[in-house]
């Protein structure tokens, strides 16, 4: 039951990004107004998600933190009419989103005991899992920079796989494993 609750929490964590995607890509050719609405609504949901994530006792999912930072940055840029920021967003597109996730992971790996995987455990496990997740996120960044095709094939499916990898790594770090020191120790 514990893992079911965690899975639901995990999936709800990407709610802001999901709502943003639905709003942004509901038409074949998004307009400036479509992007504005998607970023403002997605950014507002991201701020709410961020508040919830930061008030929990467990470390926040770094992929979600990175995605929420990207959404909030876009929302703030639209609201404050910082067109130069929006030009950067337009140029980098999906790579900007993945880059924010990678940045959140790198920072968390350096400054947090929970690392990129967002779970405290044996330090070597946290570092190994975080480095693997950094490599996978870097690979995804490269992929979205060179891939062409529909957004679902270029970003959604690979990002879902990355989120699942992060979840598997979190479970691995959190597992205690067999007691190799012998009985009653």
Token pair of 51 as six digits: 């508040």
Per-residue pLDDT band for 152 (boundaries 50, 70, 90) equals confident
Q: What's the predicted TM-score (pTM) here?
A: 0.86
**Whole-number Å distance between alpha carbons of 82 and 74:** 9
Per-residue pLDDT band for 6 (boundaries 50, 70, 90) equals low
pLDDT digits (tens, 9 = 90+) for 33-69: 999 999 999 999 999 988 888 787 788 899 999 999 9
pLDDT digits (tens, 9 = 90+) for 70-107: 999 999 999 999 999 999 999 999 999 999 999 999 99
For residue 177, the model assigns a pLDDT of 53
**Whole-number Å distance between alpha carbons of 1 and 7:** 10
For residue 180, the model assigns a pLDDT of 44
**Whole-number Å distance between alpha carbons of 34 and 48:** 21
Angle between helices 157-174 and 62-79 (to 10 degrees): 140
For residue 102, the model assigns a pLDDT of 98
**Whole-number Å distance between alpha carbons of 39 and 164:** 25
From residue 96, alpha-carbon distances to 88, 144, 180 in Å are: 8, 10, 44
The vertex-137 CA angle with 26 and 30, nearest 5°, equals 15
Q: What is the mean pLDDT of the chain?
A: 89
From residue 70, alpha-carbon distances to 46, 55, 73, 86, 131 in Å are: 9, 20, 5, 11, 22
For residue 5, the model assigns a pLDDT of 62
- The structure tokens 């790996």 sit at 109
């Amino acid at each position: 039951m514990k893992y079911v609750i965690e899975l639901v929490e995990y999936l709800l964590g990407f709610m802001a990004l999901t709502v943003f995607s639905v709003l942004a890509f509901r038409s074949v050719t998004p307009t400036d107004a479509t992007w504005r609405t998607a970023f403002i609504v997605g950014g507002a949901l991201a701020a709410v998600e961020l508040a919830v994530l930061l008030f929990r006792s467990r470390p926040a999912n770094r992929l979600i933190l990175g995605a929420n930072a990207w959404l909030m940055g876009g929302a703030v840029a639209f609201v404050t009419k910082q067109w130069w920021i929006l030009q950067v967003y337009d140029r980098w597109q999906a790579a900007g989103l993945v880059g924010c996730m990678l940045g959140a992971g790198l920072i968390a790996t350096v400054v947090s005991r929970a690392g990129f995987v967002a779970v405290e455990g044996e330090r070597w496990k946290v570092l190994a899992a975080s480095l693997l997740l950094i490599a996978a996120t870097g690979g995804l960044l490269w992929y979205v920079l060179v891939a062409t095709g529909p957004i679902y094939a270029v970003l959604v499916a690979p990002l879902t796989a990355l989120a699942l990898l992060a979840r598997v790594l979190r479970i691995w770090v959190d597992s205690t494993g067999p007691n190799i020191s012998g009985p009653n120790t």
